[in-house]
Structures are given as C-alpha cells and as structure tokens.
Structure 1
Amino acid sequence: MANLNQDGQREQWGSKIGFILAAAGSAVGLGNLWKFPYMAGKNGGGAFVLVYFIMLFLVGFTLMLAEITLGRKTQLNAIGAYRKISKKWSWVGALGVLAGFIILSYYSVVGGWVINYIVKSFSGALKIADADVLGGMFGNLISGTTEPIIYHAIFMLITMIIVIGGIGGGIEKSSKILMPGLFIMIVIIALRAMTLPGAVEGIKYLLVPNFSAINIGVILDALGQVFFSLSLGMGCMITYGSYLSKDTNIPESATVIPLIDTGVALLAGLIVLPAVFAFGYEPSAGPGLLFITLPAVFAQMPLGTLFSILFFFLVLFAALSSSISLLEVCVSYVVDEWKIKRKVAVSGIGFAMFLIGILASLSFGRLSNITIIGGRNIFDSLDFVASNILLPLGGLLLCIVVGWIWGTDKAIKEASNDGKIEFKLAPFWAILVKWVGPVAISIVFIRSLLG
C-alpha cells in the first residue's frame, strides 16, 4: 500500500530527465511568471537579476542539494526522512507537509482563475485595452460565489487525477508534457513581446544592471524571491528525492533545477517588461500584471487573442507542475505512514484542500468581512502562515538538521555516491549549509514576519 511498485520496491523515476522536469516543474510556478517580473520591475531590473543570480547560488543551490540528498538517503516522505535522521526532528517534516497542504488549498483557487481566463481568452472577452475595465472584470470574478469555486474544483480535480497516477504514470508522464509545452509557449510569447515597437527599453531594463540601484532592499527581495521561487522548505524536493535511484548525480541535478527555474523566470521577464514598456504600463504593477496589465497588452497586439490563449495555458501549465508536487508531499506521507492506498489518500486530501479553498475563494466576496491575522482575509492569512512562517522556518531547520544533526560529511558522502561522483564544491557547500544558509534564511524569516 505504500509508495511501492509491483516488485515491492519504492517507486522510482523512470529516467533522469523525468526527475529533472518534475522537480523543475515543482519549482516553476506562478511566482516565476508574475512575481519575478514584478520584483525585477520594482527593484531596478538588471540590478535585481544580478543579485538574484548570486543568491541563487548561495541559497538556492545549497538548500536544493540538501533536500534532494536527504530524500534520496532516507527513501522516505518529508516526515519519515527527518525521523530517520533523528526522531527528535521529525516535526520539521510535519511543518513541510502542513505548508504543502495549506498552500495548495489557496493556490488551487488562483489556478481556477487561470482556467477562467483561458475560457475568457477563447471567447474574446479579454479583447479590451482599458486596464480599468479589465480590473473590474477581474474583481467581479474573484468576488463571485459560484463561478470561482467551480473553476477551483476543476483545477484541484486535474491535480488529483495526475497524482493518482503515481510517480511514473502520473507525475513524471505529465511533467514530460507540461514542462516542454511550457518552454515552447514561453519562448514564442517572449519572442513576440521582444519584437514589439519600443520593447528594447524593457529588454535593457531587465538585462543591463544599473549598479547604483543595488541596495539592501534589492538584496533582501532577491534573497526572498530565490527562496520562495524554488519551493524550498516544504518537503517537495525531499519527497521527489526519495524516488531517486542511488546512482543519480545529485550535485548536477541540484544545479540544473534552479537554472531551469531561473531561465523560466527570465523568459517571463522578457515577456512582461518589454510588453509593458512598449505600451506604457507600470512595470511594478504587482499581482495585477497577470490578470489586468497583460490582457490589456495582448488586446493591443496583432493576433492578441492567440497570444492571450497561449499565455494563460502557459500559466496553467506552470501552476499545475507546482500543484502536483504540493499534493504529492501530503500524499506521500499518508501513503507511507498510514499505509493507505494512493487513490484514497489523494481523494481525501484533495477534497479537504478543496473545502478550505472554498473559504479562501469566498474571502474576496461573501466572507470578505472575516479577518484572521493582522487584518488579513482568509486567503491572505493562509498565505501569510505558509509563506512567511512555515517555509522560512522549514528552510532554516533543514540547514540545521542536514548541516549539524546529520552532518555535512555524511550528506556529502550520500550526494557524491560514496565518492563515485565528483563534487568539487563539497567543502564550500558544507560552509553554505552550516553557516550562510541559516543566516540568510533567518534574515528572510525576520523580514517576512515584519512584512
């Protein structure tokens, strides 16, 4: 009943590329497509990108390698993995499972909005260049009662169907379709955006660093974006790592996955910033970029409807590739620990997430008068608990457990396959995971609590 194949062995990825695409898909999500361009727009463009790359190496690579190594070593879910290292620390894995559960509950609501916008793109309802009108349309959607819940249900159902298929038949197979499809669409739309009249200013803004724009705020924003963009601290990579064979090159995987994630974020920047510069919109428009500013841009482009459809399918693929990993974190725990069949686990957990998601959805409409944390509605309170508390705390404790409790010598031995795989950066990584990672994440943690 556990995550076993027909031979009684733990399920494994069918191929190296299957794991890379699934893990990269877990990292690539809505944060890449709207938050990265928005953060770059807000923080000086190229200056932010440069600092982001530095933080990607110092923190992103460090935690990615730690999570995958821990999962591969233990061959267990997030809670089981920590318990195997030390029974006293199994609760750290529980934080990750809880984070995954909470995040997908409201993430699915946003996934539903995306599906709704695909339908609107096909119907021609988004062929409006007026951002104020589009803003009203978006407001009407999210404050509605029945419609957003129906689309939330559709998104959750798609996620559940994929995860029911297991590692090889569901997650790996879907990732081999979702990720190449995502890349093809994002390249096509980026090429179109970069050839718009006046787009060159947006390209320069994103890629040419203005060193005078670098300050402590830019550094902290880049650090936070790296951490949250890579889905670190919630057990996704521990869970995916647990399905790896013992001959996998972990250092290589932990390098390639963040680079793919960053590549998608940069391409998203090359869609958004050239387009908003070309049509005179504000590059730091925040979440509204996705559902208000970009539809206004597409409405003014030749073949705008086609590019609108492509773009929202792209966003859906990115959202699904993340949602299946979030659900798998929870399902893997229940299947491993409670010995429940995968179909039953997926159905039960998915339905519970759907119910909480209904409350999150209604918090923009009928339940908007209910506030929980610091005046935040239900949706924003769930996001605050998961993103500002559970994820940074999970990342910080990951560094402590891998760096100090398990020990970097043992972790390096596992990551290098007992020295069979060259891991030149091992001594440097040991310093990063024991010292740099905890300090950097503590800064993110404190700032996120204050924010």
Structure 2
Amino acid sequence: MASTSKSSREQWSNKMGFILAAIGSAVGLGSIWRFPFVAGVNGGGAFVLIYLLSILLLGLPVLLSEIVMGRSAQKNPIGAYRHHAPNTPWFLSGYIGIVATIIILAFYSTIGGWTLAYTLEAVTGAFGSITIDQAEVRFGSFINNAWSPILWQAAFIGFTILICLSGIQKGIERTNKFLMPLLGIMLIILVVRAVTLPGAMEGVRFILFPDWSAVTWTTFFEALGMAFFSLSVGAGTMITYGSYLSRQENIPSAVGNVVVFSTLVSLAAGLAIFPAVFSLGYTPDAGPALVFITLPAVFAHLPVGSLFAILFFALLSFAALTSAISLLEVPLRYLQDEHGFSRQIIWLVGGGIFLLGIPATLSFSSLADISVIGQLPIFDSMDFVASNVLLPLSGLFVILFVGWKWGVSKMLAEAEGVDGKGIPARSFWPIVIRWVTPLLIIAVFLFQIFTSL
C-alpha cells in the first residue's frame, strides 16, 4: 500500500486542541495515582521542589524536542527520524518508543479497568461506610478474581479504540476538549473539599512545605524519574501528536502550557488527597494502595463522601483514558504512515494489545506465582521493561539526536510559528539538551535498573 501523504494528513483544528490533547496524554495515572504516593514516601514538599526543577532540566527539553521533531517531519516516530536523518540507522530509535507504547498500554489497561470498576462501585454506594480493612479485603477480592478484571480491562481498551477510530478532530481532540475541562472542575471541587476538612492544613503543609530532613539521594532520582514519566515523553506520543500540529503554530507557547497545566494537575492531586488523608489520621506513605484502599475509607468518613468518591474515581478513569488514547495512536499512526493502512486497523492493534495485557491482569490472581524478570511478576516485569528500560532509552536517543545529529539551532528555529516568536533563553538550551538532560536521563536509567532488580 502507498504511504499516507502529507497533504491528506489529519491535523488538530487549532493550537488549543493540541494543548488539551497533549495535557490529556501527560495527565494520566502517573499524575493522579502515582505522583501523590511517590511524593508521600519521599517527604512531600521537598520532593515537589526537586520535581519542579527536574521538569525544567529533564522533562521540558525532551518534550520540546519530540514535539518539534513530529511537527517538522509530519510523521510518526520512525518516519520523523528518517525525515531528519535519511539513510542512517537513527530510525531504529523510533521502534523503541513504539514497542514501549504497546507494552505500556497492555499493562496500563489493567489499572484503567480497575478505575472503571471502582467508578461503578462508587456510583452504587459501595464505599458508603467502608473501613480501611474492609477496603483492603474488597480490593484484594477484586484483583484476585480471574474474570472480572479482564472484562473491565476489555471495556477500557474498547473505549480507547472507539475514540481513536473517530480520528484526530472528531475523536481524540473532541474527547480531550470535553474530558480535560471536566477533569479540572472535578479536581478543583475535590481540592476545595479536602482543604476545608478539620486538620487538613497538616496535609497542605506536607505537600507544599519542604522537609529537607526526609530528602535522600533516592528522592532526587525519584523526582527525576517522575519528571520524565509525568510528561508522557519517551514513548513517541508527543512526536505523533506533534505531527498533527499546523506549521502556523508557535510550539514554545504550546509546550509551556502543557508543562504548566500537567504539573498543576499533579500538585492538585496531592492537595486533593493528602489533606483528607491527614484529616482522618491515615499515613501519607501508603504507596500504590493509597488510591484503591486508603481513599475509599477516607471518602466513607466524609460528609457526602459517596459523591466525592464518584468524582475522584471518575477523574481517575478520565485521566487514564486520555493517556491511553495517546498510547494507542502511536502504533496506529506508524501503520498508517509507513504501510498505508486505514484507521480500521485499530481493531487489530487494540485487540492484540488487549491479549498482551491479559497475563498482566492475571498476574494478580491465577498467574501470581509466575516471575519473568528476576522475582518480578508479569505485570511488574512489563512495567520494568517499558518504564525503566525502553522509555529512558527512547528519550535519551531523542535528546542525543537533537543535540548532536539534527542540531539544537535547527530544532529551535523549527519551533517558531508564523509569528516568528522563538523560545526564550536560546543560549540555555544547547547546554541543557547536549549535556545536562542526557546525563540526567542516564542517571535515571541506571537508578531504575539497580533499584528494581
């Protein structure tokens, strides 16, 4: 089949459509589920400050580089490398990101299914008077069931396929234009309710005021890793989304909006969770169980808690869905660009990813005794390969390509729109992109490898 031509390529209707979609990609379970518990076990406010610095030195340069690469080439990750460096092996780097998106969506759909199930549980009032012990038993019973989590995983993948099937403007853009403002409204309501609880200020101080005595080297590496993962870089999603961006648009302002709003969502998630947790005497370092075990018990003790449980788990489901559609779009766009398939191929791609994700879902039940990498079960092994190996490697190759092959000056010039406004502090970027960011990514990569095995 012939490759898709640039002239027939879909585009965002405007810059706001791109910004909301990019924020939706970045604001996933990492921002609302992972950020609060990682901050909780790493000292709260001190972690947040280090995280913000990490965003500037690590997350932002990779995000900018990926979006510019995509917009300039108007291609998928592999096509973008081929466009900027023809007849070189650099295009192989694009495969790393595509494989990463497939693996991530496979196990990510497991958690996405959990969020849908818990949203329904909240709607039916299941958390009305639940204790933390009961919440723990309920969660364990749910994930240990052989069939229910798979059905919810299938529903999550099904929603993702249907949205992507409708195309860029009618599917992905329209969904994000509806869900992202709604997500913001729900998050504001949850924050207001949380900070007005008796004793909530202790939780506010925890997330906003640094306790440097809690800071270790692990805190720095965790913050760097969170900055990398929370902006949805390294997987090719931003190269793909950037390829739908009109050449008329100014990229630096769009990137700035994505960084600011996705970071604000992470902080707001902490402000929605920790004041309530502290108010009711629970610990902030409960880890991943914070969302599915601790929070249902927290909501049960709040006035009109059932309503806030519905809002929170709906919020979590929306965030998971907006990230999932960006992940699915990457292999789909590759097949469209490089092999000329129509969007209908998404049924085959999504179905394959669903099948790949079933062992991850069953690793909490019938396949719990199976280890793949070291002592890691299937779900954790998939997470390890994608998050700790493929994403950092893909991000590293992007930043090395821009810094040493394509050229920082060319990237910065390409970032300008028709208004001619470039990125501020131009002398700052060559140093960061060529030296600082690669070294930080390597540090994150080595830390993730040595601490996960």
TM-score (norm 1): 0.97
* RMSD value, Cα: 1.6
Which residue pairs with 1:52 in the alignment?
51
Question: Is 1:280 the equivalent of 2:281?
Answer: yes
Question: Is 1:130 the equivalent of 2:131?
Answer: yes
Which residue pairs with 1:420 in the alignment?
420
Which sections of structure 2, spanning at least 5 residues, go unmatched?
Answer: none
Give the conservation status (yes or no) of the 8 Å contact 2:235–2:391: yes
Give the conservation status (yes or no) of the 8 Å contact 1:58–1:432: yes
Deviation digits for residues 235-287 of structure 1, max 9, x if unmatched?
01000000111121111112111111110001100011101100111101111
Q: Determine the C-alpha separation between the residues in 2 that align with 1:212 and 1:372.
A: 37
Q: Determine the C-alpha separation between the residues in 2 that align with 1:83 and 1:143.
A: 46
Matches within 5 A, 1:64-103: 64-86=63-85, 87-103=88-104
> Helix, strand or coil for the counterpart of 1:416?
coil
Deviation digits for residues 91-129 of structure 1, max 9, x if unmatched?
111000000000001111111111111111122222244
> Helix, strand or coil for the counterpart of 2:372?
coil
Which residue pairs with 2:237 in the alignment?
236
Give the superposition deviation at 1:212: 4.0
Q: Determine the C-alpha separation between the residues in 1 that align with 2:220 and 2:377.
A: 29
Question: Is 1:224 the equivalent of 2:225?
Answer: yes
Matches within 5 A, 1:111-260: 111-260=112-261
> Helix, strand or coil for the counterpart of 1:424?
coil
Deviation digits for residues 319-345 of structure 1, max 9, x if unmatched?
0010000000110001111111111x2
Deviation digits for residues 182-241 of structure 1, max 9, x if unmatched?
000011011101111110110011111234444422211111111111111110100000
Which residue pairs with 1:362 in the alignment?
362
Give the conservation status (yes or no) of the 8 Å contact 2:4–2:336: no
- Residues 170 and 419 of structure 1: CA distance in aligned 2, closer, same or farther (over 3 Å): closer
Give the conservation status (yes or no) of the 8 Å contact 1:2–1:341: no
> Helix, strand or coil for the counterpart of 1:426?
coil
Q: Determine the C-alpha separation between the residues in 1 that align with 2:170 and 2:418.
A: 31
Deviation digits for residues 370-407 of structure 1, max 9, x if unmatched?
11001111111111100010001111111111110111
Q: Determine the C-alpha separation between the residues in 1 that align with 2:372 and 2:129.
A: 36
Question: Is 1:447 the equivalent of 2:447?
Answer: yes
Q: Determine the C-alpha separation between the residues in 1 that align with 2:411 and 2:422.
A: 14
Q: Determine the C-alpha separation between the residues in 1 that align with 2:392 and 2:283.
A: 30
Q: Determine the C-alpha separation between the residues in 2 that align with 1:319 and 1:262.
A: 16
Q: Determine the C-alpha separation between the residues in 2 that align with 1:442 and 1:410.
A: 24
Give the superposition deviation at 1:2: 8.1
Which residue pairs with 2:15 in the alignment?
16
Give the conservation status (yes or no) of the 8 Å contact 2:64–2:252: yes
- Residues 185 and 127 of structure 1: CA distance in aligned 2, closer, same or farther (over 3 Å): same
Q: Determine the C-alpha separation between the residues in 1 that align with 2:288 and 2:217.
A: 23
> Helix, strand or coil for the counterpart of 1:283?
coil
Give the superposition deviation at 1:363: 1.2
Q: Determine the C-alpha separation between the residues in 2 that align with 1:164 and 1:35.
A: 29
Name the aligned partner's letter for residue 62 of structure 1.
P
> Helix, strand or coil for the counterpart of 1:280?
coil
Give the conservation status (yes or no) of the 8 Å contact 1:11–1:167: yes
> Helix, strand or coil for the counterpart of 1:125?
coil
Give the conservation status (yes or no) of the 8 Å contact 1:413–1:419: no
Give the conservation status (yes or no) of the 8 Å contact 1:2–1:335: no
Q: Determine the C-alpha separation between the residues in 2 that align with 1:427 and 1:372.
A: 46
> Helix, strand or coil for the counterpart of 1:358?
helix
Give the conservation status (yes or no) of the 8 Å contact 1:128–1:295: no
Question: Is 1:27 the equivalent of 2:26?
Answer: yes
TM-score (norm 2): 0.96
Moved more, 115-124 or 13-22: 115-124
Moved more, 38-47 or 190-199: 38-47
Which sections of structure 1, spanning at least 5 residues, go unmatched?
Answer: none
Moved more, 125-134 or 68-77: 125-134
- Residues 3 and 256 of structure 1: CA distance in aligned 2, closer, same or farther (over 3 Å): farther
> Helix, strand or coil for the counterpart of 1:372?
strand
Give the superposition deviation at 1:3: 9.1
Query: Identity over aligned residues, as a percent?
Result: 48
Give the conservation status (yes or no) of the 8 Å contact 1:3–1:10: no
Name the aligned partner's letter for residue 446 of structure 1.
L
Give the conservation status (yes or no) of the 8 Å contact 1:76–1:239: yes
Which residue pairs with 1:411 in the alignment?
411
Give the conservation status (yes or no) of the 8 Å contact 2:4–2:337: no
Give the conservation status (yes or no) of the 8 Å contact 2:112–2:320: yes
Name the aligned partner's letter for residue 184 of structure 2.
F
Give the superposition deviation at 1:4: 6.4
- Residues 307 and 193 of structure 1: CA distance in aligned 2, closer, same or farther (over 3 Å): same
Give the conservation status (yes or no) of the 8 Å contact 2:97–2:235: yes
